[in-house]
Amino acid sequence: MSNVAYEARQISTTHLPSLPIVDWSKIGESAPKVLDSIYKGCKHSLPLADVVVITWTSAEWSALDHVFVNSDKPRKSDDESWRDDWLFYSKDAVKCEFSKLWGYYKLVEVKGQRVLLFKSEAHLAHPPYIDGLVKMVQCIINDVKPRQMFSIGTAGGSSLIERLGDTIVTNSGHVILKKEENAHARCNNITVTSSWFPSLKLQQKIADNLLMPLSDVLTNEELDRLLEDLHDEKPASLGLKLVDLVNEPLKHKNIEKPRILPCKGIPLLTTDFYFIARGNDSGEYCTLEMDDTVVGYVAKENGVEFTFVRNISDPIVVSKTLLGHDISNDIRECWSSIIYKTCGFYTSFNGALTTWGCIAGNR
């Protein structure tokens, strides 16, 4: 399951491709328009908007900016120069020594709709935990007064059906919290579902013309490098070969054409703890992540429609070798992390394009 803990693990990606320029003409559309907004400082209100899009990790943020703000030039994974144009927001933020709460924002227009893009620095599994995340979402809603909210980003596979680079679109989420800091949460062990589901009329054109094949990233040569990384980090994995680790969601033939998978009414699973599905323990969920259902819970309390758009950045990991020997959880977690750090930037590009399609499709 994708989570912000992966941010601390560094893998060299300088040899990997850039995100491509988005050729909007391929689908008969034009790029989002960046809107000017009067900035009075981080303690002042956010601008009004029709739609809010919240994303979470650095890779997700970069991909979001690339699609909605700077789609006219390629983007390397280590490029951070674009961040200077985003505005910091911390109105009524609680104090936290680990993050600059609440986050950063940018205002754009998509098909006549004002869209506030927001990079969150608050997370369910990190200080200030559930209270911080709930308050941040409430502050955003109070200021922006949106009719719709999207929470988007990387995610873990819940079954072998979800392949690397696919994107899940759902209007439902279930939450399970185990951390002591979240024990008092009113939303624990509940499912929230929005009455609204976005139009997907543009998604096939997006999938056919704009999504990035993950086969361009996870080449045979790259897989060889990643196996070496696994062996270096986990010496106990030295006996493992690629044939033991590359399952259906990672096979070249299955990641050449990323898919957009509508999962209306099928909940994703939100947790404050990390785990990797084995294929028989989370099949009732469409994907696994660590924030969305809380966003949906607060949105629903405020009468705001919501949708979750999650790209599959770390699919389900095998638990046995080709010969049937068990693979330890720490090796599985390391392999999952390696795939995420290598591919999450690119899968997030697919997720951001899908999100654009959800918004544009309603016009």
**Amino acid symbol at 308:** F
**Predicted local confidence at residue 355, as pLDDT:** 98
DSSP 82: G
Angle of CA points 59, 61, 63, to nearest 5°: 70
pLDDT of residue 137: 98
Per the prediction, the chain carries an average pLDDT of 94
Q: Which residues, in sequence order, are CB contacts of 332 under 8 Å at separation 6+?
A: 276, 317, 318, 319
The pLDDT assigned to 6 comes to 43
Distance CA 128, CA 145 (A): 24
Q: Which amino acid is at 41?
A: G
- Quote the percentage of the chain above a pLDDT of 70: 97
- Answer yes or no: are the C-beta atoms of 193 and 297 closer than 8 Å: no
Backbone phi, then psi, for 143, in 5-degree steps? -80, -50
Type of residue at 210: L
Task: Please give the domain boundaries of the chain with CATH numbers for all domains.
Answer: 31-213+258-316+346-360 (3.40.50.1580)
Q: What is the pLDDT, as a whole number, of residue 7?
A: 45
For residues 215-226, average pLDDT: 97
Q: pLDDT-derived band of residue 11, with 50, 70 and 90 as boundaries? A: low
Q: pLDDT by residue (tens digit) across 39-54?
A: 999 999 999 999 999 9
| Cβ neighbours for 271, distance < 8 A, ≥ 6 positions apart | 1, 125, 175, 176, 177, 178, 288, 290
Range of lowest pLDDT (33-47, 230-244, 274-288): 274-288
Question: In this predicted structure, what is the pLDDT of residue 12?
Answer: 63
pLDDT tens digit string along 48-76? Answer: 999 999 999 999 999 999 999 999 999 99
Q: Is the pLDDT of residue 5 over 60?
A: no
Q: Do 272 and 125 form a contact (C-beta atoms < 8 A)?
A: yes
DSSP 99-144: S-SSEEEEEEEETTEEEEEEEE---TTSTTHHHHHHHHHHHHHHHH
User: Are 23 and 72 within 8 A, CB to CB?
Assistant: no
Q: 97-101, 248-252, 294-298, 344-348: lowest mean pLDDT where? A: 97-101
pLDDT single digits (tens) 280-302: 788 899 999 999 999 999 999 99
Report residue 94 as tokens. Answer: 């609680």
Position 8 scores a pLDDT of: 41
Average pLDDT value for residue range 17-45: 96
**How far apart (Å, rounded) are the C-alpha atoms in residues 210 and 349?**
10
Q: Is the pLDDT of residue 83 over 70?
A: yes
Q: Has residue 9 got a pLDDT over 50?
A: no
Query: What's the rounded Cα separation, in Å, for the pair 333 and 1?
Result: 9
**pLDDT given at position 236:** 97
pLDDT, one tens digit per residue, over 159-212 is 999 999 999 999 999 999 999 999 999 999 999 999 999 999 999 999 999 999
Query: What's the pLDDT at 94?
Result: 86
